[in-house]
């Protein structure tokens, strides 16, 4: 990872991490890693096996038989050679991912896979513990946040949901998953001490992307 410029973007669901990470990577010609999709792929494996996603004992044997991978742009995720991207965003998989990602066996199984992505000129990674655990020496750490209602609104738009009742249900599910992410013992969601914290509640997506790209460019200049 030594020569790879790593941009670590963390934050709660709906803060705009994925869209920002992909746009920043594209703008800079960097690779991109969607670590949440890796956790979702593990969750899908557990759901399909009919396993309890909170049961540490079933995870090891199931993971031993499978290879998880992702395309360099972070867009496509594979279980062995099967492209599972379109199966990862259902409510069932989201809930299972939130539970199974708290298990130490799941986190340790994915850590080297994530670090191995840092090979080229640059990599944008997004998730919950990119700056705190997986890439503690990242060249830039960003923590994206936004208030709860705004995050539910954004995620609702992404999922094509409309109507107050549906958005309220989505907001409540997201709040519960965030609570789990923030309170788990291993790699809880929190900003790294040296991260740039951006509250994006009143920012447009383009403003957030520009802020991150400009920060990368100025740090690259300083490093020269």
Residues in contact with ligand DC by CB under 6 A are 13, 35-36, 39-40, 97-98, 101, 127-129, 177, 181
Residue 5 dihedral angles phi and psi, to the nearest 5°: -80, 110
Distance CA 35, CA 126 (A): 6
Residue closer to ligand DC, measured from CB, 103 or 167: 103
Residue closer to ligand DC, measured from CB, 116 or 221: 116
Closest distance to ligand DC from the beta carbon of 126 (Å): 7
Closest distance to ligand DC from the beta carbon of 214 (Å): 24
Residue closer to ligand DC, measured from CB, 18 or 30: 18
Give yes or no for a contact between 14 and 146, defined as CB atoms under 8 angstroms apart.
yes
Closest distance to ligand DC from the beta carbon of 39 (Å): 3
Residue 34 dihedral angles phi and psi, to the nearest 5°: -100, 95
Closest distance to ligand DC from the beta carbon of 146 (Å): 14
The C-alpha torsion from 172 through 174 and 175 to 176, rounded to 10°, is 90
Residue closer to ligand DC, measured from CB, 103 or 223: 103
Distance CA 64, CA 186 (A): 21
Residue closer to ligand DC, measured from CB, 4 or 220: 4
The strand pairing partners of 8, in sequence order, are 125, 141
Closest distance to ligand DC from the beta carbon of 75 (Å): 13
Q: Number of helices and strands (H, E) in the chain?
A: 8, 8
Query: Following DSSP, what letter does each residue of 32-46 receive, concatenated?
Result: EEEHHHHHHHHHHHH
Residue closer to ligand DC, measured from CB, 194 or 214: 194
Closest distance to ligand DC from the beta carbon of 108 (Å): 12
| CB-count burial class (<10 Å; 0-12, 13-18, 19+) for 24 | buried
């Amino acid at each position: 990872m030594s020569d790879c410029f790593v941009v670590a973007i963390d934050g709660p669901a709906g803060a705009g991490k994925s869209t920002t990470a992909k746009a920043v990577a594209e703008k800079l010609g960097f690779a991109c890693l969607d670590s949440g999709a890796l956790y979702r792929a593990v969750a899908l494996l557990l759901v399909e096996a009919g396993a309890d996603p909170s049961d540490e004992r079933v995870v090891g044997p199931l993971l031993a038989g499978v290879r998880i991978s992702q395309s360099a742009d972070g867009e496509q995720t594979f279980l062995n050679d099967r492209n599972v991207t379109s199966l990862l965003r259902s409510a069932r998989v989201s809930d299972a991912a939130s539970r199974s990602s708290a298990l130490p066996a799941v986190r340790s199984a994915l850590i080297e896979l994530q670090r191995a992505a840092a090979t080229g000129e640059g990599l944008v990674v997004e998730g919950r513990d990119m700056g705190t655990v997986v890439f503690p020496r990242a060249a830039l750490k960003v923590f994206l946040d936004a208030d709860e209602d705004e995050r539910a609104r954004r995620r609702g738009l992404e999922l094509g949901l409309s109507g107050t009742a549906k958005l309220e249900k989505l907001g409540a599910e997201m709040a519960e998953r965030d609570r789990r992410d923030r309170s788990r013992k291993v790699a809880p969601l929190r900003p790294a001490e040296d991260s740039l914290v951006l509250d994006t509640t009143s920012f447009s997506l383009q403003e957030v992307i520009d802020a991150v790209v400009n920060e990368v460019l100025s740090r690259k200049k300083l490093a020269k």
